Structure 1
Amino acid sequence: PTHLFRSERPGYQAFVDSIRDKPAIKRTLEADAALTQTLARHQSALADWWQLASNDFAELENAGNGGRKTPEIRRELIASLKEKLTPLAVLDEFKSAGLFVNWWQQIRYDIKTIVASGWHHSLIPDAYLIAAFFQKDADAIDALEAKIAEAQAELDEAVEAAVEVAAWEPETDEKATAAVLKKALKALIDDLDNATGASADKERTALKAQDKAIKAIETRIKDAKAKHKTQRAELAEKLELKRSGGEAFKAEQHTQIAQIAQRMSKLDANKLADLKQAAALAGDKEVLQARIARTDALLAAIGGQITDEQARRLILQKIDDLARAELTRYLNAEKRTLVASVDNLWDKYAVSSRLLEAARGETLKVLDGMLAGLGYVK
């Protein structure tokens, strides 16, 4: 390729001037349009294969109910994948088959679950559910985490500033932390309580300002972390409801309500102790009813429990992503082999040629010096 080699003379080529070391070989190859297009063709071929293969794969759901069996579907899928990839002349028949086998091995438990239980939500990683239904929630959590990180950086800067203002010197193994510096600042401020004069006022003001700055940032971090914890708990609750619905949770609450009703029916309205217990039980019942109402509202807000079709789509998406990742792994191995082969040419020829040229240059310098000494050249 012209971006790597140039013609020296008939039958001989040399590395182009831009290839000055082995890292340049890898950079040049990875930036090559032909290589990029080859990788893209493979991904496109896999996408075309999966568009049809996903329908065959989906038939696994009926494998236990008289439908086509897993071995038959597997044979068809591996044959069709080899037909797609082998003509591209990078992965031969055996590597294409190896790619399939590795992918199939990764999803073997998914296959067993699909055959036994259908498109069960347990096969869907949280990341896929979040991307499909709760990306806004996840983005809010990410944004809050970024704010916490920024505030933490501000706190570190405030602590550094406090070290200078307080002229703080650490003791053995002592580190400059917010807690340590607040303690040091307080001690200095207390020492200045009875001090008078402009200098003391100025120093006291600076120390209090630094102490206030550290505490303000700590408060922001504390509030943000509390909010972050709440948001993560809410997202976890939404994920659980999306997966399993609210029936099991509500049934548990209804059971407790029934138990409360049974206990209340045995109380005597004429006894003060029973009246107090009845009031407490009524309060417990209201809490349980509020939980049920909240669950219904939250379930409605998230669009209800995931449907079989939605679960099927996300599981197939995950399985497709795993196939793409396996193809990428195989292509990266081929790319490394390509780079290594050119690196080998560099080791054998380019470096040796450069060393010979350098040695020749040194020899000519010595010869010129000798000739000059003998008076043959000026």
Structure 2
Amino acid sequence: MKNSYCEFVPAIASKECVKAFLDASLELKSKHLEFAHSLADWWEENLPALEDLPTKQNVYDLYHAFSTTIADRISKLGILDEFKSRGAFASYWNALFTDLRSVSASGWNADLIPDEEILQSQFPEVLKEMNDNEARRDELEALFKEVNELEEGAWSEEDYEVYPKAELAEVKAQIKSLGGELKEIERANKNKRQQVKALKHAGESFLSIENEIAALTPKAAALSDLIAEQEKRIARHAER
């Protein structure tokens, strides 16, 4: 080894292990704990001033006071200097600035609670269903994208949960065609039943027409079953 190089201790097998080694060190954990305690103490000391914001309406004064005291406290820990501490606090404050102005004007009220937190506390089942539906939508969109990017002839109904656009269009066209046939039969049967009614009223024979109705009825049922079967095949696409 060259004199200008350093060798890792045995606990570090490679440079990728350095971060994990440091994160596990007692010194770093101790510094994190010291930081957390210092921040908690600062919070306890300054909480009354924050709670008094609706009364004093002093958002900007609070910012300057908090920025000074928290930067002074953190910089003494040797983690961040005063300027970096102020910068970190400024970013945090800016994220809350709109809410703090609302508190200053209207007080601490329920409008400050995010809608999602209200839903989670009051309607957890509804929120879970919404999240599940969104997850299912994202899953289906990923599946649709996958099958639509397949090479021609690579898709099969057994291997994929959803249909590519061309196959889907073909099934939908078939359903439409079958639906047209079914409507024609239903219309014909309706007319024939009216004929039977008229013939009965006139006292004439209607047996042949009833036979025609009897012959068409199972055809209509078969078409209806076939349409339902095809619609079931592509039902996932209706979930989008």
Residue 90 (structure 1) shift: 1.3
| Structure 1, gaps ≥5 residues long | 1-7, 165-173, 191-206, 226-378
Matching residue within 115, 121, 133 for 1:126: 115
Corresponding position: 1:50 with 2:43: yes
RMSD across aligned positions (CA): 4.8
Distance verdict in 2 for CA 1:92–1:183, change over 3 Å: same
TM-score of the two chains, using structure 2 as the length reference? 0.53
Matching residue within 42, 51, 55 for 1:62: 55
* In structure 2, distance between residues paired with 1:84 and 1:107: 21
Residue 105 (structure 1) shift: 3.0
Q: Which residue of 2 aligns with 1:78?
A: 67
Distance verdict in 2 for CA 1:95–1:211, change over 3 Å: same
* In structure 1, distance between residues paired with 2:227 and 2:147: 13
TM-score of the two chains, using structure 1 as the length reference? 0.37
* In structure 2, distance between residues paired with 1:162 and 1:143: 25
Amino acid at match of 1:78: S
* In structure 2, distance between residues paired with 1:141 and 1:118: 32
Q: Which residue of 2 aligns with 1:176?
A: 166
8 Å CA contact 1:163, 1:176 repeated in 2? no
Q: Which residue of 1 aligns with 2:24?
A: 33
* In structure 2, distance between residues paired with 1:96 and 1:155: 49
1:69-105, CA deviations, whole angstroms, 9 ceiling, x for partnerless residues?
A: 4455334422331243223211112211222223233
Amino acid at match of 2:6: Q
Q: For 1:1-378, what aligned pairs fall within 5 Å after superposition?
A: 13-15=6-8, 18-19=13-14, 24-25=15-16, 28-30=18-20, 32-34=23-25, 37=29, 38-39=31-32, 41-43=34-36, 45-64=38-57, 69-148=58-137, 160-162=155-157, 175-176=165-166, 178-183=168-173, 211-218=230-237, 221=239
* In structure 2, distance between residues paired with 1:82 and 1:133: 39
8 Å CA contact 2:175, 2:231 repeated in 1? no
8 Å CA contact 1:61, 1:119 repeated in 2? yes
Question: Higher RCO, 1 or 2 (CA under 8 Å, sep at least 6)?
Answer: 1
Residue 187 (structure 1) shift: 7.2
Distance verdict in 2 for CA 1:28–1:210, change over 3 Å: farther
| Structure 2, gaps ≥5 residues long | 149-154, 181-225
Distance verdict in 2 for CA 1:89–1:154, change over 3 Å: closer
Distance verdict in 2 for CA 1:133–1:91, change over 3 Å: farther
Distance verdict in 2 for CA 1:95–1:158, change over 3 Å: closer
8 Å CA contact 2:59, 2:101 repeated in 1? no
- Report the count of equivalent residues: 183
